[in-house]
């Protein structure tokens, strides 16, 4: 008899976007003339950069000729891309990596979900709250999250990020073995300074804690004092695995490519105290369960690092960040407390008068016909906030802001 992995049965359905759609649809049915604008979109909207397209077209042509056809590639990614990553994303920031420490993937979601296979099921986990749901859900699936009590998992330590701590969690006061951090952050759009990140790295070194660091939004950072990589902090290679993605950087949400860094200096103890590198384990895991992302995608990713590619990708990021700036300034002008939106495509807006996230979501929908995402959908510490994204087009952002202003007047 086959028995099910019943940890999957513990997963609570993520109703957030379904619930939003339901409320929007009901409103549409009763107000068919309303022109609803969504500032809730979590996907990029601008097309791929011409340099990327050109590289991908060329790669497709290579696939069509027997001399240049490519079959299975290296599971860890082609050297041309691994080398371009090190040369462009790390060397200029003083971070030395070897290509064998960079694993190209099909986007950061798979690896942020899969990485926990490398550590025992009974490690305790700390997550910044609010968060990207993949971190907790992947731990539930393997039985590491414990039991759900009132929407919180017993073996997960929630590290609240709020106005009091500038959206950087405090070091936990009890033992955790693994910590997930994401900066620039989704959903709050906030960043971490080198000083604050150093506290986490020092804590991890001292207490033998493993950090999973999600840097999916690093290309939105506008100020070079803010760390793009945790490895900018001395000693971080001993304790951290880092995830990158071309999804938000270069509009690759539909192309699929990213990479994970597993430094050779990083070791984790076995029960008998012997320490092992995670790098060869991840290599083995990838070679067994993953067959690489497509050659065409990897050539497209490589093109992001060409001089034209860099310029074109930056133009798109600037477009989204101008949207963010327009929305941020207008909302601050309306008296809202707004966080994020300066180094990330997300604005985290405090609801006025202590209203709940859902109540404010409804008011904005009914009065301004603008859709946002209720912050509580990203974790308990998100209550009392809403998330706006700057991934829409300029006209919609401006129109939405005008309506919000009129609604509040
Ligand atoms: C969008 C996003 C990712 C990237 O996902 P892909 O699988 O690379 O498309 C990773 N982490 C966070 C927090 C994200 O918001």
Q: What would the pLDDT profile of 140-173 be if each residue is shown by its tens digit?
A: 999 999 999 988 999 999 999 999 999 999 999 9
Q: Which residues sit opposite 182 in a β-bridge?
A: 214
Candidate of 216, 254, 387, 389 to mutate for ligand 1, largest count of ligand atoms within 8 Å of Cβ:
216
Q: How far is the CA of 106 from the centre of ligand 1 (A)?
A: 11
pLDDT tier at 138, thresholds 50, 70, 90: very high
Q: How far is the CA of 47 from the centre of ligand 1 (A)?
A: 18
Average predicted confidence (pLDDT) for the chain: 96
Q: How far is the CA of 186 from the centre of ligand 1 (A)?
A: 9
Q: Are strands 178-182 and 156-160 parallel, antiparallel or unpaired?
A: unpaired
- What lines the ligand 1 site, CB under 6 Å? 107-109, 112, 132, 182, 186, 214, 216, 245, 247-248, 253, 258
Q: How far is the CA of 247 from the centre of ligand 1 (A)?
A: 7
* SS3 assignment, position 96: coil
Q: How far is the CA of 33 from the centre of ligand 1 (A)?
A: 35
Tell me if the pTM is above 0.85.
yes
User: E strand or H helix at 74, and its extent?
Assistant: none
Candidate of 106, 186, 192 to mutate for ligand 1, largest count of ligand atoms within 8 Å of Cβ:
186
Cα 376 from Cα 140, distance rounded (Å): 19
Ligand 1: atom nearest CA of 214 is 11
Residue 204's Cα: distance from chain center in Å? 21
Ligand 1: atom nearest CA of 108 is 8
Cα 130 from Cα 365, distance rounded (Å): 23
User: What are the tens digits of pLDDT across the range 302-359?
Assistant: 999 999 999 999 999 999 999 999 999 999 999 999 999 999 999 999 999 999 999 9
User: What are the tens digits of pLDDT across the range 351-387?
Assistant: 999 999 999 999 999 999 999 999 999 999 999 999 9
CB atoms closer than 10 angstroms to residue 92: 10
Candidate of 103, 190, 214 to mutate for ligand 1, largest count of ligand atoms within 8 Å of Cβ:
214
Residue 297's Cα: distance from chain center in Å? 20
User: What are the tens digits of pLDDT across the range 298-307?
Assistant: 999 999 999 9
Q: What is the largest CA-CA distance in the chain?
A: 68
Cα 397 from Cα 386, distance rounded (Å): 16
Closest residue CA from atom 4 of ligand 1:
108
Half-sphere exposure of 367 (CA within 13 A, CB side): 14
Instruction: Quote helix, strand, coil % in the chain, to nearest 5.
Output: 45, 15, 40
Q: How far is the CA of 66 from the centre of ligand 1 (A)?
A: 35
Ligand 1: atom nearest CA of 253 is 9
Report the residue count for the chain: 409
Residue 194's Cα: distance from chain center in Å? 19
Candidate of 213, 220, 248 to mutate for ligand 1, largest count of ligand atoms within 8 Å of Cβ:
248
User: What are the tens digits of pLDDT across the range 255-311?
Assistant: 999 999 999 999 999 999 999 999 999 999 999 999 999 999 999 999 999 999 999
Q: How far is the CA of 258 from the centre of ligand 1 (A)?
A: 9
Q: Which two tokens stand for residue 366?
A: 């009914």
Cβ-based neighbours of 361, under 8 Å, separated by 6 or more: 20, 23, 371, 372, 373, 374, 386
Which residue's entry shows tokens 């990708």? 313
Q: How far is the CA of 142 from the centre of ligand 1 (A)?
A: 21
Cα 192 from Cα 267, distance rounded (Å): 25
Candidate of 104, 132, 250 to mutate for ligand 1, largest count of ligand atoms within 8 Å of Cβ:
132
| Integer angstrom CA distances of residue 268 from 112, 141, 261 | 18, 22, 16
Q: Which two tokens stand for residue 252?
A: 């690759």
pLDDT tier at 110, thresholds 50, 70, 90: very high
Q: What angle do CA 132, 135, 140 make, to 5 degrees?
A: 130
Radius of gyration for the alpha carbons in the chain, expressed in angstroms and rounded: 22
pLDDT tier at 89, thresholds 50, 70, 90: very high
> Given this model, what pLDDT does residue 119 score?
97
Closest residue CA from atom 2 of ligand 1:
216
Residue 296: phi and psi, rounded to 5, are -65, -45
* SS3 assignment, position 275: strand
Q: How far is the CA of 97 from the centre of ligand 1 (A)?
A: 23
Pair 393, 45: CB distance under 8 Å = yes
Ligand 1: atom nearest CA of 185 is 13
Cα 351 from Cα 267, distance rounded (Å): 43
Cα 155 from Cα 176, distance rounded (Å): 9
Give, to the nearest 10 degrees, the angle between helix 394-408 and helix 357-368: 100
């Amino acid at each position: 008899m086959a028995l099910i992995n019943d940890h999957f049965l513990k997963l609570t359905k993520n109703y957030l976007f379904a619930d939003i759609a339901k409320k929007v649809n009901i409103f549409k049915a009763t107000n068919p003339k309303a022109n609803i604008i969504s500032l809730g979109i979590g996907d990029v909207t601008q097309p791929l950069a011409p340099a990327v397209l050109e590289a991908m077209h060329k790669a497709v042509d290579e696939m069509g000729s027997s001399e240049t056809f490519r079959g299975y590639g290296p599971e860890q990614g082609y050297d041309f891309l691994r080398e371009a990553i090190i040369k462009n994303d790390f060397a200029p920031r003083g971070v030395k990596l070897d290509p064998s420490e960079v694993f190209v993937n099909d986007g950061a979601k798979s690896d942020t979900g899969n990485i926990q296979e490398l550590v025992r099921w009974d490690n305790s986990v700390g997550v910044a709250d609010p968060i990207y749901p993949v971190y907790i859900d992947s731990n539930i699936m393997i039985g590491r999250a414990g039991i759900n009590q009132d929407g919180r998992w017993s073996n997960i330590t929630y590290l609240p990020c709020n106005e009091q701590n500038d959206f950087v969690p405090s070091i936990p006061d009890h033992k955790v073995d693994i910590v997930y951090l994401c900066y620039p952050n989704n959903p709050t759009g906030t960043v971490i300074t080198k000083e604050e990140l150093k506290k986490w790295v020092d804590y991890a070194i001292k207490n033998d804690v493993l950090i999973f660091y999600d840097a999916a939004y690093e290309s939105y950072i506008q100020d070079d004092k803010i760390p793009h990589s945790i490895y900018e902090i001395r000693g971080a290679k001993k304790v951290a695995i880092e995830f990158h993605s071309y999804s938000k950087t270069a509009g690759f949400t539909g192309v699929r490519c990213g990479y994970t860094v597993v430094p050779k200096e990083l070791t984790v103890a076995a029960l008998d105290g012997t320490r092992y590198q995670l790098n060869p384990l991840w290599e083995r895991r990838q070679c067994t369960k993953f067959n690489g992302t497509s050659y065409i995608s990897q050539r497209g990713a490589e093109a992001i690092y060409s001089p034209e590619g860099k310029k074109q990708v930056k133009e798109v990021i600037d477009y989204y960040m101008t949207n963010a700036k327009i929305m941020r300034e207008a909302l601050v002008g309306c008296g809202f407390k707004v966080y994020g939106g300066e180094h990330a495509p997300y604005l985290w807006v405090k609801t006025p008068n202590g209203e709940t996230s859902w109540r404010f979501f409804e008011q904005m929908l009914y009065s301004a016909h603008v859709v946002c995402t209720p912050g509580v959908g990203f974790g308990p510490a998100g209550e009392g906030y809403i998330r706006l994204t700057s991934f829409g087009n300029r006209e919609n952002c401006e129109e939405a802001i005008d309506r919000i202003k009129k609604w509040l007047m």
